[in-house]
Amino acid sequence: MAVGKSATDVEIFKPRIDKRAYRRIVLSNSLEALLISDPDTDKAAASMVVSVGYFSDPDGLEGLAHFLEHMLFFASEKYPMEDSYSKYITEHGGSTNAFTAPDLTNFYFDVNVDCFEEALDRFAQFFIKPLMSPDATIREIKAVDSENRKNLLSDGWRMNQLHKHLSSKDHPYHKFGTGSWDTLEVKPKEKGIDTRNELLKFYQENYSANLMQLVVYGKETLDEIQTQVEKKFDSIRNLGRNCFHFPGQPCTSEHLQILVKAVPIKQGHTLRIIWPITPSIRNYKEGPCRYLGHLIGHEGEGSLFYILKTLGWAMGLSAGEGDWSLEFSFFNVIIELTDAGHEHVEDIVGLLFKYILLLQRSGVTKWIFDELAAICENGFHYQDKVRPRDYVVNISSNMKLYPPEDWLVGSSLPSKFVPSTIQSALDELNMENVRVFWESKKFEGCTDLVEPWYGTAYSINKITASTIQQWVEKAPNAYLHLPSPNIFIPTDLSLKGLQEKVKFPTLLRKSSFSRLWYKPDTMFFTPKAYIKIDFNCPLSSHSPEAEVLTDIFTRLLMDYLNEYAYDAQVAGLDYAIRHADTGFQVIVVGYNHKMRILLETIVLKLHQFEVKPDRFAVIKEAVIKEYQNFKFQQPYQQAMYYCTLLLEDHTWPWSEELDVLPYLEADHLAKFAPILLSKAFLECLVAGNIEPAEAESVVQHVEDVLFRGPQPTSKPLFPSQHLTNRVVKLDKGVIYHYPVEGLNQKDENSSLVHYIQVHQDDIKLDVKLQLFALVAKQPAFHQLRSVEQLGYITVLMKRNDSGVRGAQFIIQSTVKDPAELDVRVGAFLKLFEGKLYEMSEEEYKSNVNALIDMKLEKHKNLRDEAAFYWGEISDGTLKFDRRDSEVAALRDLKKEELVDFFNYYIKVDSPQRKTLSVQVYGGVHSAEYKKTINEADEPGRYQIKDIFSFRRSRPLYGSFKGGLGHMKL
């Protein structure tokens, strides 16, 4: 039963357009819960936060809280079959995961609504009587270790740990939270510590109902959800534990006024200026850090970033609070430096303090606070609906931090203007309180210290306030000033009247220049719109040089627009200009009120494009670094890249693009841009709160600017010039394998992508493939990850290349080489074959119904809906009613048909099977790589030695865009 009058009489503050019902309850064991009833939802979800994280790890058992998070997924006394929880969730259209933070662990799942009650019961057992068997213990320590190895060469993880390492050893912030084989197995054994006993003890002592907050999101009424929650969670023990509490900042005086030079893995230079501050959550309605982050991180004219960009010293800047808790916090300014900026770090720090001085002199400004409050208010009240899983995770994490009425709002809605609070936060951003972290490959060989967990090389120098003052005095004179009022804040938030309910996009208009697909908002009823224009430019990808120049062209356009359009993004109107397979795309999404102003400015910049040599040089430098850093991608990402390169005709390899980059100059782009734009066709999708005539007018305007006039920028394409994506057709009964060394041999991880090509888009085959993927996904994860412990990343998923469908296994591992991983995938499929034959009719129907429920799931917001329809337009399949057709096909599908599909397309020794095995060999498997490439092919196996010879020798699937009524005008 719910206890205490205050438990249910709190009114939860919610957005104006939110039709969901909310109720707070407190169970008899003191567990606090928020219930959410959404009659329109097709997914149910729950998230449980336990206020215990890795700050509570016992000394000498780093990662124990994270390890416990892993272990709770295995089995419970009520559901003793290992992995039955995850199996149930996956087979009923859901997903599940968890994360361990410093002071909390968050467990969550979603599932199809009609299976919610049983899923919730299984979930509750995590916190009642989990089993944590000895056998699973050793296996899951290996999984934690694999997760840690995945992070070892990630700059994000490395720099975060270095920041923690350079803090007080007596503060839990100093800890290493992930855990590894060393911390959870080797070192405890050396000390005679039994990790499993410590794990059980940690659970028994810390997992107490009074330290838990639960969010449950369902379709039922609040009363019905409450009954379920009380029944399932009331038996969690309440030990009356106090919340873990560690007052004080992690940084003492010895950790302040330091300049840390660190060597990253990737190319590039990053400057992080960090101040320990009073947590702004204590004054969250006054939003002190939001106000300061808004100004210091601004990118408009007169801002710090604008000056640094003008000087050619920075490519990006962000500012705001990070790594915070109720007890301590940090304010961060992170600047991505150019090579020139790397030579001017003292000047850059000086300019930052000049801007802080400007804020001190200007005083806290009411109109800026009011403007920010108005933007935040619009953002809160007109927020897009998100997946229930994401929603419950966000709210559950808020519950221990905010009073119940503000659980949905959190810190997102500053509403009280208290200048003294903002001034106090500003005062903390001073020269005595600062830490400067400077990352660059140029420091290699010039450091004298090593961070113990990730091996990051670094050195420390003390910097005094007087030194920083000197940097301020010698920094360039620059006209730094506060931003101007934001013209993009929408004031018309009305909804357009709809003449008729349109279910799918319609072809509203077509000409020799463009084609316009239109879909009004009939579901979300928000004052937002979505415009996407795909510029099909055949000259954009005819060579590696053209591909790179098109990329730089789009980045320069974004660069030129930044000062003007930054305000639009702040006000909730996002835009992007990005390189695409057949040219480039312009996307504008957000409040529709001032969208036209932004889009017309983008088109004008496009029409009047000119190359500014200084900006070209900066963008080129950034692009070169991105290409150079490709080799530091995770091995599984490299394997997926090679798979795409092997399958998709007319894609250029990154190595060739990197080769041509150094020789490209501003003049090359100046000559290329007019050629790029000289021939174009515009594929457009306009959706949301926008009327048909307005949608037509938008496209008409773009045509008028680019295609009409005395000297048009563009001419229409000839029918022969329309570009399409063609995909390689693999031979039946042949196993193609492509072994390749990982690009960074310091990375121990190897990887496999085992791809099974099935068919070109066909509704009946599509649903069979999807049903196979659903039924096999969890058994594959359980066998390959949980039982065989091949690696942390172990996935079976569907694949779609321009309408050509297949299935792929993705595994990253240090314990087996890729050829051996391939063998394990084959062994799994043989094991699965038996389970598929034995599947009962009831279990089969349950899986079919789960997939149908997933198909019937409504789009959550305008972006989701538009992305789905754009996929059909982009592939040329144009099956806007795809989900309805798939549901109809699933209702008729018999189990025998699924078995026949498996035997024909998937079964290991099927003569019809089409297989591509991409094998990336990491540093620990270099001997196996040498052996593999020298082995003679067995019958039915073909080793690909050259990607492009292979591609040229293979037939291609026809493109859907080649069909009548598709690209033809």
Phi/psi-derived region of residue 531, left when phi > 0, alpha when psi is between -120 and 50, beta in every other case: beta
Q: How confident is the model at residue 245 (pLDDT cuts 50, 70, 90)?
A: confident
d(CA 783, CA 794): 10
538-556 pLDDT, tens digit each: 999 999 999 999 999 999 9
882-893 pLDDT, tens digit each: 999 999 999 999
672-721 pLDDT, tens digit each: 999 999 999 999 999 999 999 999 999 999 999 999 978 899 999 988 88
pLDDT at 81: 93
Across the range 171-191, mean pLDDT stands at 96
Task: Confirm whether 32 is a catalytic residue.
Answer: no
CB 233 within 8 A of CB 33: yes
Element (DSSP H or E) covering residue 472 = helix 465-474
d(CA 277, CA 275): 6
pLDDT at 5: 33
**pLDDT of 638 above 50:** yes
Q: How confident is the model at residue 968 (pLDDT cuts 50, 70, 90)?
A: very low
Q: What is the DSSP string of 866-923?
A: HHHHHHHHHHT---TTHHHHHHHHHHH--HHHHHHHIIIIISTT-TT-EEEEEEEE-G
Three-class SS of residue 213?
A: strand
Which one from 140, 286, 321, 741 is the annotated catalytic residue? 140
CB 212 within 8 A of CB 31: yes
Largest pairwise CA distance in the chain: 85
- Could you give the count of Cα atoms lying within 13 Å of 961 in the half-sphere of its Cβ? 20
CB 266 within 8 A of CB 747: no
CA-based nearest residue to 144, from 58, 67, 55, 59: 67
Task: Confirm whether 69 is a catalytic residue.
Answer: yes
Q: How confident is the model at residue 725 (pLDDT cuts 50, 70, 90)?
A: confident
**pLDDT of 2 above 60:** no
**pLDDT of 433 above 60:** yes
Helix pair 818-838, 763-781: axis angle to 10 deg: 110
One-letter amino acid for residue 388 of the chain? P
473-515 pLDDT, tens digit each: 999 999 999 999 999 999 999 999 876 778 999 999 999 999 9
CB 22 within 8 A of CB 14: yes
| pTM for the full predicted model | 0.94
44-68 pLDDT, tens digit each: 999 999 999 999 999 999 999 999 9
pLDDT at 883: 96
Phi/psi-derived region of residue 363, left when phi > 0, alpha when psi is between -120 and 50, beta in every other case: left
d(CA 445, CA 441): 9
pLDDT at 498: 74
pLDDT at 966: 42
Tokens, residue 843: 């279990």
Q: How confident is the model at residue 964 (pLDDT cuts 50, 70, 90)?
A: very low
For CA atoms 813, 818, 820, 823, give the dihedral sign: positive
pLDDT at 247: 81
On average, the pLDDT of the chain sits at 95
Across the range 31-51, mean pLDDT stands at 97
Three-class SS of residue 144?
A: helix
Which one from 62, 69, 117, 563 is the annotated catalytic residue? 69
593 φ, ψ to 5°?
A: -55, -50
Across the range 90-95, mean pLDDT stands at 94
pLDDT at 965: 37
802-839 pLDDT, tens digit each: 999 999 999 999 999 999 999 999 999 999 999 999 99
**pLDDT of 783 above 90:** yes
pLDDT at 501: 78
Instruction: Determine how many CB atoms are found less than 10 A away from the CB of residue 935.
Output: 11
d(CA 355, CA 368): 16
Tokens, residue 682: 């515009």
Q: Which domains does the chain have, with CATH numbers?
A: 21-234 (3.30.830.10), 253-368+407-474 (3.30.830.10), 506-660+680-709 (3.30.830.10), 727-957 (3.30.830.10)
pLDDT at 499: 66
CA-based nearest residue to 766, from 642, 650, 872, 643: 872
